[in-house]
Structures are given as C-alpha cells and as structure tokens.
Amino acid sequence: MRRIVQSKKLQHVRYDVRGPILVEAQRLEAEGHKILKLNIGNTAPFGFEAPEAIVADMIHNLPESQGYVDSRGIYSARTAVAQYYQSHGLRDTTVEDVYIGNGVSELITMVLQAFVDDGNEILVPAPDYPLWTGAVSLAGGTPVHYRCDEDNGWNPDLADIESKITPNTHALVLINPNNPTGAVYSEETVRAFVDIARRHDLVLMSDEIYEKILFDDAVHHHTATFAGDDVLCLTFSGLSKAYRVCGYRAGWVMVSGPKHRAEDFLEGLTLLSNMRMCANVPAQHAIQTALGGYQSVGELTVPGGRFYEQSKLASRLLDEIPGVSCVEPRGALYCFPRLDPAVYPIEDDEAFVIDLLRAKKILVTHGTGFNWFAPDHFRLVTLPDTAVLTEAIERIADYLEHLRG
C-alpha cells in the first residue's frame, strides 16, 4: 500500500522551538520529571496575567461574538489599531489599512502566501524568529539570511544585506525588538533599512510584536514612520506579549506606503482572509481596550519590574559562567548567549540542549534553531521569577562545568 507522507512543501520548514527537544521534554514529563520550560515566550505559566480590563471586555462582548465577522476584523479593533499608528506619526493610516489575525504568526503566513512566488528571495535576519524562515519556504520562496553582528550589539550588518540582494530579492524582514537577541534598533539603523528597501525596490516587513518591552534608554522606532509614500511597509504587532494574552491570539498587520501599487497583492491578502472566514472574534474585542487603556507593561519594564529585573539577572548570570558571553538584551523576553567554541567545542547544538535537558531538566532552544550560522548559541526565556531563574542558570552552569571537565 502507498505510504502516506508529508507534503514536499515542508521539506525546508523547521520550527525547532517546538521541535524534537520539546518531544523529549514531554517524554521526560511522562516519566514523572518536572521540566522547567525556558523555550517559549509564553507568559501565563510564569504568573503573568492579562490586565483585568481586557478580560472584562472580552467577557462583556461574548454574547455578540458568536458569529462570523468581517474577515479583516471587527471595525472597533481595526479603528483602534489605525488610531494607534496615527498617534505615532502615521497620520494617514485608516481602518482599511488594518487586517486582524489569530496572532502575528497567522498573519506572517498569510502575507507571505499572498506575496511570494516560487523561488522569490526574502531577506530574513540571522538569528531570526524561525517562523519567518519556515513561512517563506512554505510559500515557495527562498529565505536568504543576513547576518546580525554580535560584536555590535546584535545590530544587522547592513553591508551583508546589500551583498545578498539579487534581481530575485522581493522583500526585507526586520524583527525589532529582535527575537532571540533582544536587540533594539536605533533610528539610524531603521532609516538605513528603509533606504536599502527604497534603492532596491523591496517591500519591508517589520515584525514589532515586542515594541513595548524595552529596557533602560532603548527606544522603539516604527519602520513605517520612515518608509514614507514610496516604500510599501507591512507592520506586524499584537497583544500577546505586552498584554500577557498569548492564548487570545490577537494580532494585526498594518499596510502603509504606496498602496496603489499593491492593489493586486492586497486583493490576494483579502482573499486569504476570506478563506479563513475571520479571526477569533472574542479576542478582537480586547484590542480597543488594550490600546486605549492604561499600559500596565510599563510597570514591568522599569527597574523593579519583573521583565526588567529578570532580563538583567539572566544576562549577568550567564555572562559570569566561564566560556559564556551574553550581549545584554535591550528589549523582548530572551537571552541569546554564546558558548566559546574554544571552551565548548560543540558540533551539534541540538544534541547539546537535549543532553542539558536530560541532565538538568532545563528546556532551552539551540541557536541553529533560529537559523544562526554556527552551533555556538542557545536561547533562554527570561520569564521565570528571579529565584527560579537563578536556580535554572545555576543548573546550566553546573552542566557546563561538567563539559569543561
């Protein structure tokens, strides 16, 4: 009988954040082991709760949320998103420029399916949030990774971007603040991205889901602010991280720039929106309340706040381990430390994190899972409270001491 196999479209698609390492963690849990999962930026398991006003608004609107709505999103949610960007200098943004989705992840996939033809090249950062690379491949495109420079605070290597542009390059992806490195790009850097896109006639795709999670003097700059009327910019954001509602799946993409040149693409994006009927309706009612209400994330990102203190603690403790260095994150919820190859000659970083998991019951993600070029990094989520985070990094330090012999 004919074997039933996965589609060849999945041949180059990986999502190691939830890959074989998680399967091994689940096996260990089934044996009775308690695993500390530091592989996914899921806020709820670590005691972060949604603002009460958001929950109340969802509950209040449940009776009116039982049917399909406009496939692009309910009017109040799209209006709130449009007004949010208007207040950040994008005054021409209207409700017609906004699409609501089941989180940013769904919208990335939809946008790329609507935009990419077989073989089109899309420039994606390395390291990246691996959904970008996987979704480009699934859409039939070719992800081309430009290097972010660890020695320069994980800022993108602009010369490397320029060197990788070909006649078949169609779009440039930014992740700002960056996952997994925590880099936050300066105005000068964002303007440079826009200049590259303008000179090479590229579409900009700006993933800004961590835009409100910033530390110290870091400032987030919306890419669309500098793109003007001549560069098409797709800005992705949502409620998952800043509002601690990962499970609500409420995200959006905002389209700006020369939309008259993109009418055919936008027709395709609307078609895909229609095919999935609509995004999760109850969560859409949370968007207006979230964007218009008190921004409680501010309490978490300043000294004394959990996001701030945990990020600072994690990067410091990791940096103190012999043979480990960690560029201090300026935003987001992760550390991306480097293991000195002279001290830890690791050839297979997936095997390394599986061995760490088995030995110390700590689940992290290997650096090549984020499309980094060498097996010398791993990503750690900084969401546990300081006591748990300290214990976790002590276990990692003990394991690394064993490796050093």
Q: Using DSSP bridges, classify how beta strands 378-381 and 338-339 pair: parallel, antiparallel or unpaired.
A: unpaired
- At 16 the pLDDT is 67
How many C-beta neighbours within 10 Å does residue 315 have? 22
Query: For residue 338, what are the CA distances in angstroms to 173, 379, 380?
Result: 24, 9, 11
d(CA 165, CA 45): 42
From the list 352, 322, 317, 321, the residue with the least C-alpha distance to 335 is 317
**Domains contained in the chain, CATH given:** 8-49+299-404 (3.90.1150.10), 52-296 (3.40.640.10)
Do 174 and 197 form a contact (C-beta atoms < 8 A)? Answer: no
Six-digit token pair at 285?
């009612």
- Token couple for 43: 């806020």
Q: Please give the pLDDT value at position 40.
A: 87
DSSP assignment of 32-44 equals T---EE-SS--SG
Q: Rounded CA gap, 217 and 309, in Å?
A: 15
Q: What pLDDT score does 60 carry?
A: 93
For residue 127, how far is the Cα from the chain centroid?
Answer: 11
How much is the pTM? 0.94
Predicted pLDDT at 110:
97
**How far apart are alpha carbons 43 and 90 in whole angstroms?**
30
> How far is it, in rounded angstroms, from Cα 211 to Cα 199?
26
Backbone dihedral angles phi then psi of residue 329, each to the nearest 5 degrees: -65, 145
pLDDT tens sequence for the chain (405 residues): 889 888 887 777 777 666 788 889 899 999 999 999 999 899 999 999 999 999 999 999 999 999 999 999 999 999 999 999 999 999 999 999 999 999 999 999 999 999 999 999 999 999 999 999 999 999 999 999 999 999 999 999 999 999 999 999 999 999 999 999 999 999 999 999 999 999 999 999 999 999 999 999 999 999 999 998 999 999 999 999 999 999 999 999 999 999 999 999 999 999 999 999 999 999 999 999 999 988 999 999 999 999 999 999 999 999 999 999 999 999 999 999 999 999 999 999 999 999 999 999 999 999 999 999 999 999 999 999 999 999 999 999 999 999 987
In three-state secondary structure terms, 338 is strand
